[in-house]
Amino acid sequence: MPLTKEDIHRALEAITLPDGGTLISRDMIRALGIAGGDVRFVIEAPTAEVAKMMEPLRKAAEAAVARLPGAGTVQVSLTAPAPGGMGAKAKSPPSLKIGGHAKPQEDGQRVKGVARILAIGSGKGGVGKSTVSSNLAVALARQGRKVGLLDADIYGPSQPRMMGVNKRPSSPDGKTIIPLKAHGVTMMSIGLMLAEDKAVVWRGPMLMGALQQMLGQVEWGELDVLLVDLPPGTGDVQLTLCTKTELTGAVVVSTPQDVALLDARKALDMFATLKTPVLGLIENMSTFTCPHCGGESHPFGQGGVASEAERLGLPYLGALPLDLDTRIAGDGGTPIAAGEGPVADAFGVLAKRLIDGGMA
C-alpha cells in the first residue's frame, strides 16, 4: 500500500517532546508532501531559540518516517517564526487551520457572549432541518433578537448557499475566526472554509475538533441565541455538542410521515440520553397548496408530529408548509423569512413562540 499522511502522523505521534506533548498534538508539522515514497515536511518550532535545540528531535522524526513501509527519501527541515523588532520582516498571520483532534475541555462549556444555544436536530436527512434553521434565524433577527447561526453539518454544509454568503472568514491571528453576517444573522460554517464542491473526508476526532473550533474560536460577539444546525442522525457532532457545551435545549424537525417519525424518535431518545432538554417539535412540509387550483393536500401525511408531541408531553411549536418559493429562496441565498408572505409569517409565528417561551 502507498504511504499516506495518516501513516506519517502515527509515526510522529510516537515521538514525545520534552514537556510531554508530541509534534502532532502541538500542531508543529507544516508542508507535508509525499511523492511516490519520498517524504518532505517542516517542523515549526515556536521560537528560533527552541528550534536550535530541536535538531535531535528532527533526526528522530526523519528516522521514524524512514522506517515506515514504502518510505523512500525523507527530508525534514526545522523552521521558526521570524523574530519581531526593528528591521525585522513582519510575519503575516498564519492561515487558519480547521479540523484536527478535539482538545480536552470541561463538560458544559459556555460560549463567550452567547446567552442561549439552541440545537436544531432531526433523525434523518431530507426533512428540511437546514431550511428551518436559516429561516428561523432570520425570523428571530427580524424580531429584534441578536442571532447567530452555526452550520454544524460538517459533511454537508448548506448554510453558505442558503444565507447567500461565500466569503472566507478572516483570522487576524491564525486562531480567532471572524464570522460573517447575512440578513441580520452572524454565521459560521465549515462550508465557508472550503470550495463548494470539496468533500470533507474526516474521521470523528477531526469532526469534533472542527466543532470545538467553530464554537470556541469564533468571535460571536453578544448574542441572545445561537442556533446550531446539526447534521442528521445521532453521531459524533451531536455527542460533542450535547456533552461539551452548555445547551439551552434542542428543537427536533420532522415531516409527518411515519418513516421520518421513526428516525425523529431516535433523535429524541438521543437528546434524552444526553440529558439535553427538548424544547419542542416542528412539523415541516406539513401541507402543500397547489399554485394552479389553490387546493390543499398533505403529501407526507397530516398531524404526525403534533400527535407525537402530545404523546411525549413535549411542546408542539407549529407546522410549516411544503412551498416552492421557500426552495427557490434558499437556493438563491435569501431565506423566505427575510421577505413577506404566508411562509414568512409562519416563521415569524414560530420565532415569537420561541421568544415568548424564553427559548430565544
The pLDDT value given to residue 97: 59
The pLDDT value given to residue 96: 54
Using the 3D structure, point to which of 79, 101, 127 is the last residue of a domain: 79
Q: Is the pLDDT of residue 94 over 80?
A: no
Same domain, 258 and 350: yes
Most confident of 143-147, 167-171, 262-266: 143-147
The pLDDT value given to residue 93: 37
Same domain, 142 and 69: no
Same domain, 57 and 163: no
Note the Cα 185 to chain centre separation in Å.
Answer: 16
Encode pLDDT of 102-123 as tens digits.
555 556 678 999 999 999 999 8
Q: Which amino acid is at 23?
A: L
Task: Name the 3-class secondary structure at 333.
Answer: coil
Q: Does residue 173 sit within a domain?
A: yes
Using the 3D structure, point to which of 51, 79, 107 is the last residue of a domain: 79
Q: Does residue 145 sit within a domain?
A: yes
Query: 57: domain CATH number?
Result: 3.30.300.130
Q: How many structural domains does the chain have?
A: 2
Q: Is the pLDDT of residue 131 over 80?
A: yes
The pLDDT value given to residue 89: 38
Phi first, then psi: give them for residue 230, nearest 5 degrees: -80, 155
The greatest distance separating any two alpha carbons of the chain, rounded to the nearest whole angstrom, comes to 79
Q: Is the pLDDT of residue 98 over 70?
A: no
Residues of the chain with pLDDT > 90, as a percent, come to 42
Query: 255: domain CATH number?
Result: 3.40.50.300
| Structural domain for 274, as ranges | 117-356
Q: Does residue 100 sit within a domain?
A: no
Q: Does residue 101 sit within a domain?
A: no
Q: Does residue 203 sit within a domain?
A: yes
CB 109 within 8 A of CB 217: no
Average pLDDT over residues 130-144: 96
- How many beta carbons lie within 10 A of that of residue 31, not counting itself? 10
Q: Does residue 94 sit within a domain?
A: no
Identify the bridge partners of residue 225 per DSSP, sorted by sequence position.
147
Look at residues 233, 136, 154 and name the one whose alpha carbon lies nearest to residue 191: 154
Helix and strand counts by DSSP (H, E) for the chain? 11, 13
- How many beta carbons lie within 10 A of that of residue 216, not counting itself? 17
Q: Does residue 89 sit within a domain?
A: no
Same domain, 53 and 177: no
